[in-house]
Structure 1
């Protein structure tokens, strides 16, 4: 794991600021990949993809990764020109104007909060299932979720490099157990010998592939948050694009490889039946067979840590979005405070933890199921919101570069973002048309969940109109000027000798 350095404490009288030079490429990638929760996605969702798409499901993850890599071309090109901490909304403001930017900012807040707060339900249910499987204890979910809120709140309160170290350890553990399963399957040669039938066109071009693509795109949620850490990155013009491509490439290839090994574990003829009869136990059964019961027990525990890692990654992203909006004057200025010792946006973090606690308590008081309702009903609008932001950002790229002088090529500024916009719009349609597979809810509930995203964006447009009338200075300056990157910390002699990624 790379050694990180950070800025010295600000001089007396200087307002505390985020730590500069604290994150390298791998640190940022840890945040992004951890947010995706690879182990939870594979053990919890991939079996359903196999049921719906058959043995060609691994290709769905490759196609989703390829689409998002195309999106990353224009996105990272624009990241060299937009230097603020507002990420999505800053990009959309520059390309589509301040009204769309304010709408995007509100959508980002709701989207990222939805992606995080809903997962506390998953933390409660996953911990309950793990305790039941390993000890026979029927652990209630609410105390676990509340304890998780405190743990994640503390992690966000600490410095960003502290979070990077924690996520590095947790990510290595959860991907390691999946790699161990894959190694066991490959060494044994699978159930009936290794086969590449998953990649044959006849097994990919089937009706269920559309549903697989919907699941696959959802599995990458949060990868774009690399740009949120620009102000804390070392050499951000290089670090942020590298981390983005690293995260997308790793997730796409890793997901496809692990799903393919699951097919090999049961065989082309049996895997769909096995996934359909016990989707929740598919990966546990495979790792028990090819590695041992102890590995299945470890996987139970690591699913819980995978969820914690995802929560911490999203919490840190939300905190930086909130800080940027408080600095813009859209959120209360009181939230635009950075901890003097940890260099963390701690006030936004406290506010986010309070909000998460309130939502969890409301669902608990209503007797809601932590998985089917708290997770799925809160997470789904969050996922759709982030996908909509990706689409808006892709549309913003060519419009931005039409208005500014630059030396970027047309492939990066026009061709790739337009292609990404078409592909992302298709992905959103696929997800919405298969929303019942994500939620298991009624058509009425699904309609409400799907309309949250346009409703929030329209509320953002209304907020923009209000700002334009009542606070024109905030509206005029919203995302318009880049926030200069602070000077990097001057390393000590010892730090200069340490390796950097």
Structure 2
């Protein structure tokens, strides 16, 4: 582990496995939470074609998944897209990727903070007839998230895996029973564009909510420095999580459509007025699961909250280590091997913004959660789009370039994400969503000012962006020229810090 004045600058190597990575990525997607919240949101535009919309979203996100896999095999790092785009498009793109990726994930946490408190409040009020303020439950959840994140990434992903297993099993049972009892409700028409009130365009708008449900699938890529054999296992974790959750989404959407009877106009009309159709479905077909379904939603919120915090702090850690953010954020606790300073900063940010936005817009799904989620989605989808372009450029002159994997699939990923980005960020949104695009633009402008300052006074920081990889042992012919020159002049072995900074950028953006 490299040292800087006695402070570790690397995360603990080799402590995580493929299931650990899948757990983090799947928890970040929050599969149960996504179907509970996004099915009602997609219903007015997609109608009974919701399963088709989610299937198309699954395919679209698979294109981005290919990009993450191809990069992770070459560039395993806690920086994820920050490292990928630095190496594929150059330092400037890498800086703005990190800038957007950081706020994209960081701002999701306050929404989850408020939603967790709101869900627990509603459950306690309905079950025990006790009215406890939502923010008390939010703070309790934050304490647990902080403790797990600070103490051990391994403990965090184990909790994620446990909660995921419980909640997914509950919803799978609900889905199976709903399909079995659906009778004439079972139909292939749910995968036809004609089932949408406006045909193809309605299905397309439904895809937007499907893609929002996949945000977070890339979280496993931030574990590149802590995963055993990262070049092999990180791609497995990313695609494992994406595949498993994608199948879960399509299955649950079909079970909802069939169980609710959405091929019946009258039942579809009732569905469109139902604020929580999965709870209604459970009351109808599995009343004995009604309580577990509500608890599964709470568990899904907590596991997502924990996963998002762990993902965010690793991006902050990478940027702090590169000194783009304050250097202290790039430090690691000597005993716990966690980016503790980054965790503290993210915790303060989450509580302050969460309490403020929760008091302003309300803590529920249509309040702070929806608003902060929209901001995060715009920022993250921009990063996804840039990464697809970066992959094409990175491998353009590479001897191992595959036309399918390194050109066609990322190009399709750009096309697939363009419309959802427009749908979320387009002008004319209702309040407060009309503030989403201006907020993202203001953030980009602030980043531009910081980038220009760094380029003027500290160009070495920009040149070194995304240089930390998971491996300590770097082949001699891939070491920086400056490092080789220093070795030749001093006849000394390079330090670990020197070996950390590898693969400088050339004019083409390739290592």
Same fold (TM over 0.5): yes
Aligned equivalent of 2:270: 274
Say if 1:134 and 1:297, in contact at 8 Å, map to a contact too. no
Report the CA distance between 1:321 and its aligned residue: 0.7
2:51 and 2:250 in contact (8 A); partners too? yes
Query: 1:15 Cα deviation (Å)?
Result: 3.4
Instruction: Name the structure 1 match of 2:48.
Output: 55
1:409 equivalent in alignment to 2:402: yes
1:213 is the counterpart of 2:207: yes
Cα distance in structure 1, aligned partners of 2:135 and 2:399: 53
2:301 maps to what in 1?
Answer: 307
Answer with 302-311 or 355-364: which moved more. Answer: 355-364
Q: Select the residue among 285, 288, 291 that pairs with 2:286.
A: 291
Residues 391/454 of structure 1: CA separation in 2 closer, same or farther (3 Å cut)? farther
Q: How does 1:136-215 map to 2 (within 5 A)?
A: 136-188=129-181, 190=182, 192-203=184-195, 205-215=199-209
CA distance in 2, matches of 1:106, 1:117: 18
Given candidates 111, 121, 125, the residue that maps to 1:118 is: 111
Which of 218-227 and 331-340 deviates more?
331-340
What does 1:66-85 align with in structure 2 at a 5 Å threshold?
66-85=59-78
Q: For 1:182 and 1:415, how far apart are their aligned partners in 2?
A: 35
- 1:308 CA drift (Å): 0.5
- 1:22-41 aligned within 5 A: 22-41=15-34
C-alpha distance in 1 between matches for 2:387 and 2:267: 39
CA distance in 2, matches of 1:468, 1:352: 27
Q: Is the 1:84–1:231 contact (alpha carbons within 8 Å) kept by the matching residues of 2?
A: yes
Q: For the aligned residues, what is the CA RMSD?
A: 2.2
Residue in 1 that maps onto 2:436: 449
Q: Deviations over 1:76-121 (max 9, x none)?
A: 1122222332111211112222122111111111110111111111
* TM-score normalised by L of structure 1: 0.88
Q: How far does residue 235 in structure 1 lie from its aligned partner after superposition?
A: 1.3
Partners of 2:64 and 2:157 in 1: how far apart? 25
Deviations 1:298-324 (A, max 9, x none): 111221111010000000001111111
Q: Which residue does 1:345 correspond to in 2?
A: 339
Q: 1:44 to 1:83 in 2, by over 3 A?
A: closer
User: Offset at 1:253?
Assistant: 1.7
Match of 1:18 among 11, 27, 32: 11
TM-score in terms of structure 2 length: 0.86
Q: Which moved more, 1:168-177 or 1:193-202?
A: 193-202
CA distance in 1, matches of 2:127, 2:97: 44
| Structure 1 pair 14–464 and aligned structure 2 pair: CA distance change class (3 A) | closer
8 Å contact from structure 2 (residues 45, 203) kept in 1:
yes
3-state DSSP of counterpart to 2:469: coil
Match of 1:399 in 2: 393
Aligned residue in 1 for 2:218:
224
Instruction: Indicate if the aligned counterparts of 1:123 and 1:304 stay in contact, CA closer than 8 A.
Output: yes
1:211 touches 1:434 (CA, 8 Å); kept in 2?
Answer: no
Q: Once structures 1 and 2 are overlaid, which stretch shifts more, 411-420 or 15-24? A: 15-24
Partner of 1:490: none
Pair 1:295–1:48, CA change in 2 (3 A) = same
Which position in structure 2 is the counterpart of 1:257? 251
Measured at CA, do residues 431 and 114 of structure 1 come closer, stay the same or move farther in structure 2, by a change above 3 Å? same
Contact 2:224 2:470 in 1 (8 A): no
Task: Tell me the SS of whatever aligns to 2:345.
Answer: helix
Residue pair 1:105, 1:460 contacting (<8 A) in 2 also: no
On the 8 A contact 1:70/1:419 being kept in 2, the answer is yes
Q: In the TM superposition, what is the alpha-carbon distance from 1:201 to its structure 2 partner?
A: 4.2
Q: Secondary structure at the match of 1:208?
A: helix
1:104 partnered with 2:104: no
Offset, 1:51: 3.2
> Cα 1:451–1:137, aligned 2, differ >3 Å: closer, same or farther?
same
Answer yes or no: is 1:469 the counterpart of 2:463: no
Runs of 4+ in 1 over 6 A off after TM superposition: none
Residues 43, 223 of structure 1: CA spacing in aligned structure 2 closer, same or farther, 3 A cutoff?
same
Displacement, 1:459? 2.5
Residue matched to 2:80: 87
State the alpha-carbon separation in 2 of the partners of residues 419 and 186 from structure 1.
Answer: 33
What is the distance in 2 between the residues matched to 1:104 and 1:392? 8
Distance 1:28 1:230, change over 3 A: same
Deviation of the 1:378 alpha carbon = 1.8
Distance in 1, matches of 2:116 and 2:137, equals 7
Separation in 1, partners of 2:347, 2:52: 38
